Amino acid sequence: MAKTESIIKLIRHEYPWEILQARIDHARVTNQPLLERPYWFENTETGQLYHDICSCIGWPSEVTDQNESLPGYIGIVGVVRPHAGTEQYNPIDAKFQLLAEAQSNDVPTLLDQCIELRERYGFGVQQELLRAWYGDPERFLTTLALRNEILIKHGGDRAAILIIPPVDFYVPKIFDLYVRSLKSCLLPDKMRFFFGGCDILKNRLRDDPCVLAIGGLVHSLLNNCTWMDAVRETVFTVDEKEN
């Protein structure tokens, strides 16, 4: 598969260490547990800014005697940053933008789409960007392992497709839980999730693979605020690729 050109650019403050230390000091004085990172990302096609870019996968549903399999689904979601200035604001309530999506009933094809979309949306621009996909880590293990063997051979361990479970993935009735989290971000007076120009999810909101993917991702973001750092655990690395 030919390498896809990235449209994501890493942006850093001119003095990232100084900005970070100032934010740590302010967070400690005001007793805030989280702080904004001293870098963000820019979509070079649209100019839109993001605190973080996240990914998710919903595997094709199980084939039964009564029903055919529903297509698997992958999505890329940006945690939107409203401006590029240095002024203080609270990004805890950042909005979520669906940037790209794809679907397929064929698992190898779905994994190909994962590779293509992660490259387009900045994989490798910063060391943790799109490293992991929220999804079920226990399905299609052999197919995933074979694909990762090839990826690791050509790109090292960090090239592997890593699947991690969303928050609360192993509790009962996760479909109900994830639907509620997603719908809470779609309320007209509390709109926080935007479909952009993407139509697959919009037309499949009742389908298990779609909701388990995006719903699990949104539920994880709402509960963990993954695009910010905990003050006591803040580690800023400077080995990001220059653009």
Q: Is residue 73 scored above 90 in pLDDT?
A: yes
Q: Does CATH place domain 8-233 in 3.30.420?
A: yes
Pick from 51, 96, 73: nearest CA to 186: 96
pLDDT at 90: 73
pLDDT at 242: 44
Q: Which range among 17-26, 53-62, 101-110 shows the weakest confidence by mean pLDDT?
A: 17-26
Q: Distance of CA 80 to CAs 5, 51, 52, 107, 204, Å?
A: 22, 6, 8, 30, 24
pLDDT at 121: 98
Q: Report strand pairing: 49-58 vs 72-81.
A: antiparallel
Q: Is residue 111 scored above 60 in pLDDT?
A: yes
Would you kindly state where each structural domain of the chain is located, as residue ranges?
Answer: 8-233
Q: Distance of CA 230 to CAs 27, 36, 50, 144, Å?
A: 10, 9, 18, 32
Pick from 76, 78, 19, 16: nearest CA to 47: 78
**Tokens 């979520």 -> residue:** 96
